Structure 1
Amino acid sequence: MLEGNRVSRISVRGFAVASATAVTTVGAVVGVASGNPQSSDTVETAASDATTTLLADVPAGEQVQVQALTLAEQANAQSAIAEASAKKSAEESARVAAAEAAKDKKAAAEAKVKKEREEAKKRAARKAAAARDASSFTPKSSYSISEVKDMARQMVPAGQFQCFSNIIERESNWNYLAQNPSSGAYGLVQALPGSKMSSAGADWRTNPATQIKWGLKYMDSRYGSPCGAWSFWQNNKWY
């Protein structure tokens, strides 16, 4: 690479000689034209001295040029190495940061899923504790409307109780012994025939908890929920 950029000693000398020759020729012409041969001699002497001086300076000039090229190449090489090192360091830092971000994101997602599962378990436990089955109540010979409503509140999901209550008020007004004289529908939910409620318990005639249990199952299976049954009831006046 240096050889391509380097000025050879021969080319420099050739340039010096050519320059001196040109000066001598010009001087000779000027001297002859002026009729002063001494001028020609003086020019030739100056050209010779200039040539000697230029030739003497060639080695030093070449050395300086070589040194300058070497330092420039070293500087370029060091700059390239530093740039490559900085790029590699930046890429590594970016990779580490991305890995840490992915790790944190995964941990956050797992924590969220775990929390949601725990909350779901707690809700299910609360619901199971709040929702009592018909068998949870001690049978009695008779029940007041407030007692029947209290049973329903404990057995019907909180978000569905009002819809359930709306239907019961219109079907039997919370009278677990109510019977339709024309159709034979019986109980709180006016099951038709009333014997259908035997699937929830043999005491369906006298136990409001058994009637509530059967009524909930019927509303859920046919309408999806007590609120679904209430929506149908409003449009049709029966369910």
Structure 2
Amino acid sequence: MSVSFIRRIASPKKVLTTAAVATATVGMALAAAPAQAATTSASSAQSIAHEMIPDATQFTAFSKIVERESGWNPSATNAASGAYGLVQALPASKMSTAGSDWKTNPATQIKWGLDYMNSRYGSPAAAWSFWQAHNWY
């Protein structure tokens, strides 16, 4: 066997190995992207909620509930119950009363959640008190 023949065989293997490493690296980078996007989304959702709930006490109570329910992930889904969104509405489609974009818009989910807490408990602070006693609201 000549050296040039061996080089021709070895060269494609090296290219394939390099391509595999490059693909794995890109895959790891892409896998890391959703975590960053979720963080950005959570931060954005919190900013939206803070604008919609200017009272510090009510915002803090709302935030504590949302943190425990969804971790501020507007796409959070409870696999067991089907509850969805920042405030884990059940059924999720109830949030459509706040807007047709309820599946994707944190502001719509916050509006619905705030309306729910105000109508059922009187305020987010009262909803938080109930949540602390029952671990749900």
Report if TM-score (shorter chain) is over 0.5: yes
Per-residue deviation, 1:144: 1.6
Unpaired runs of 5+ residues, structure 2, are 1-37
Matching residue of 1:219 = 117
Which string of whole-angstrom CA distances, capped at 9 and with x for unpartnered residues, describes residues 134-171 of structure 1?
A: xxxxxxxx962111110000001323000000000000
Higher RCO (CA < 8 A, seq sep 6+): 2
TM-score scaled by structure 1? 0.40
Per-residue deviation, 1:186: 0.2
Unpaired runs of 5+ residues, structure 1, are 1-141
Matching residue of 1:175 = 73
TM-score scaled by structure 2? 0.69
1:148 pairs, out of 29, 45, 51, with: 45
Name the CA distance, whole Å, in 2 between partners of 1:175 and 1:144: 7
Which string of whole-angstrom CA distances, capped at 9 and with x for unpartnered residues, describes residues 187-231 of structure 1?
A: 000000100000000000000000000000000000000000000
Whose radius of gyration is greater, 1 or 2?
Answer: 1
Matching residue of 1:197 = 95
AA aligned opposite 1:145: A
In the alignment of these two chains, the number of paired residues is: 98
Over 6 Å off, 4+ runs: none
TM-align CA RMSD? 1.2
| Identity level (%) | 65
Matching residue of 1:43 = none
Answer 1 or 2: which has greater helix percent. 1
Task: After TM superposition, list the pairs within 5 Å mapping 1:45-60 onto structure 2.
Answer: none
Matching residue of 1:231 = 129
